[in-house]
Amino acid sequence: MLTAQQLADACHCRLSVAQRWLGPTVQAMERYGIDTPQRQAAFLAQIAHESGRFQYVREIWGPTPAQRRYEGRADLGNTVPGDGRRFLGRGLIQITGRNNYRAAGLALEIDLIRAPERLEEPEFAALSAAWFWRSKGLNELADLGDFDKITRRINGGTNGIEDRRALWASARAALEQRCQQGQGPEGD
């Protein structure tokens, strides 16, 4: 089993933060097949970066020029006035837009259109990230070691790539330590 200390080491966060997020993160990884050291290391690195080391499960709203462009974006499903802010980035991978909230809600069996703030709850913040991960084919990219392509699928570019790579190295080291301590790659 992944320990809170290993999660803290992997994600560069305080132990108390890792303790809070351990259960939801492990549950999400198990549910969505993030079940090898390669997949887990890449996933942990990406969610750590996207959430500011588990500090943010809701996008900080300015609004910035980029956030203003959420409004009215048909590709995100933001067709109702106010959708841009209502469906801002939430969860550990920052699910954004009415269409993505609808799809995540169907997968997680919760109504995220009526209650988008549910993605701020640890359980759903982690599950939505793992759902997004699998739905975008990121397990397969992790199997290939294509971390930069994973970043582009999550971020649309390579924003924060150096931090993401540093977290990936830390996550691989933490998971390697777990295996050396006699625990299996799935945390058995």
Dihedral (CA of 182, 1, 166, 32) sign: positive
- The tokens of 23 are what? 């259960």
- Domain 4-180 adopts which CATH fold? Lysozyme (1.10.530)
Q: pLDDT tens digits, residue range 130-178? A: 999 999 999 999 999 999 999 999 999 999 999 999 999 999 999 997 6
Average per-residue pLDDT in the chain?
Answer: 95
183 pLDDT exceeds 60?
Answer: no
Domain ranges of the chain: 4-180
Which of these, 150, 179, 186, 181, lies nearest to 167 by C-alpha position?
150
With beta carbons less than 8 A apart as the criterion, state whether 124 and 101 touch.
no
The string of pLDDT tens digits covering residues 7-42 is 999 999 999 999 999 999 999 999 999 999 999 999
What is the DSSP secondary structure assignment for residue 116, as one 8-state letter?
G
CA distance 125 to 119: 5
Backbone angles phi, psi at 144, to 5 degrees: -85, -10
Residues tagged active-site: 50
State the pLDDT at residue 186: 44
CA R_g for the chain: 16
